Amino acid sequence: MKVAPLTRVLAVLSVAACAFAGTSFAANLPAAGQTPSQEEQTAPQLRPSEKEARAEEARSNKPCIRIVATGGTIAGAQASQKEYGYKSGAFDVNELIAAVPNLEGLAQLSGEQVANIGSQDMNDEVWLKLAKRVNALLQSPDVDGIVITHGTDTMEETAYFLNLVTKSDKPVVLVGSMRPATAVSADGPANLYNAVAVAADPGARGRGVLVVMNDEIHQARNVQKTNTTNVETLESPQRGPQGLVHTGKITWFEPMDKKNTARSEFSIAGLDHLPRVDIIYAHANMSPDLIDAAVKNGAKGIVIAGVGDGNMTKEAAMQLEKLAKQRGLLVIRSSRVPTGLVLRNNEIDDDKAGFVASGELNPAKSRVLAQLALTKTRDPKKVQQIFNTY
């Protein structure tokens, strides 16, 4: 099945100002024989070479935005429009770019594919590959900003990981969709348009990694998926969005106070794997069995998605304290409750047990930060400092 706008001709452009290796440039140009717009009809007539030179100049004044595709529903296709089910990652990056009318009016675009997966299959290996590629692109003077297309299931984790390990103030924006590219009223093209507008905007610089979905701009640290299927799903329940973007027009709100990107102490240069950290969900009658299983299988850290303020049964807490003291297991208390803080030494004595309280970070983000913290230290006091800082 084809996405309707893909029937338009894909033209390959060569744009000198944004040239860098491995580039395939795609733009959504009118098909041969298409009627000129009213603007084109009333404009003073230029000779073809002058017209081309002006168009080239206008293009080369626009920021160079690299679109890095990883798959997800934004690139997904249904077998038919009546189907609920679909396959993630069915379309490639050039097809995504071509499906958005007037995208080339915002920026000089180029694209590449780093993965083509549903983000439920995201893993440390793809994260390291993606982050290294993003860092290499950010160093290039030919890149002003990056847009990463990604599934929404784990978008909040990838965004936060990149927020901690990419090393530049240039904008990096993640975008996805809740409806596949073939759906009636697909949300991907509008989201991608807005994401490119944000990545091309000087106001996005220095704000860390951002997520653009459903006309909102979110900081990676704050954003969470909050609805299984609705297009209004990526939200920042604690702090609210970083800004709004409507048909490419942006209003910025206050920037984040936490450290990220160029000011982060974490580096993945030379890393080929990350320490294993598991999340265990607390509940009534919780036993320590899953804690033991995680450690036996190589977990160096455990995040508890605790009840309430990061709580768990006495049995689970005692086992964690034992493992923290005897084996240096890193224990993070987070919460399964969507909002509120997990503070130190409330009902559980973190100082005595050697635990870390996650503060604002939900279990998924706590896991990401714990993995990176473990590349530096296993000391819970130092890790607590890290949690307070990032």
Least distance from ligand ASP to the Cβ atom of residue 4, Å:
20
- Ordered alpha helix ranges (H), 73-224: 93-98, 124-139, 155-165, 188-199
Closest to 319 measured CA to CA, from 300, 343, 284, 295: 295
**Does residue 72 interact with ligand ASP by CB under 6 A?**
yes
Among 88, 108, 149, 168, the residue binding ligand ASP under the rule CB under 6 A is 88
Least distance from ligand ASP to the Cβ atom of residue 229, Å:
9
Question: What sign for the dihedral angle of Cα 228, 371, 385, 262?
Answer: negative
Least distance from ligand ASP to the Cβ atom of residue 277, Å:
21
Report which DSSP code applies to 4: G
Q: Which of 70, 73, 149, 261 is catalytic?
A: 73
**Does residue 78 interact with ligand ASP by CB under 6 A?**
no
Phi-psi sector, 190: left (phi>0), alpha (psi -120 to 50), beta: alpha
- For ligand ASP, the closer of residues 153 and 278 by Cβ is 153
Question: What sign for the dihedral angle of Cα 132, 133, 136, 139?
Answer: negative
Catalytic residue list contains 375: no
How many chain residues interact with ligand ASP (CB under 6 A)? 11
- For ligand ASP, the closer of residues 153 and 216 by Cβ is 153
Among the listed ranges 24-32, 151-159, 190-198, 330-338, the one in contact with ligand ASP (CB under 6 A) is 151-159
Site for ligand ASP in 108-127 (CB under 6 A): 118-120
Question: What sign for the dihedral angle of Cα 109, 111, 116, 120?
Answer: negative
Site for ligand ASP in 162-181 (CB under 6 A): 176, 178
Q: Whole-angstrom Cα distance, residue 301 to residue 275?
A: 8
Question: 161 in helix, strand or coil?
Answer: helix
Binding residues for ligand ASP, rule: CB under 6 A, are 72-73, 88, 118-120, 151-153, 176, 178
Q: Which residues are catalytic?
A: 73
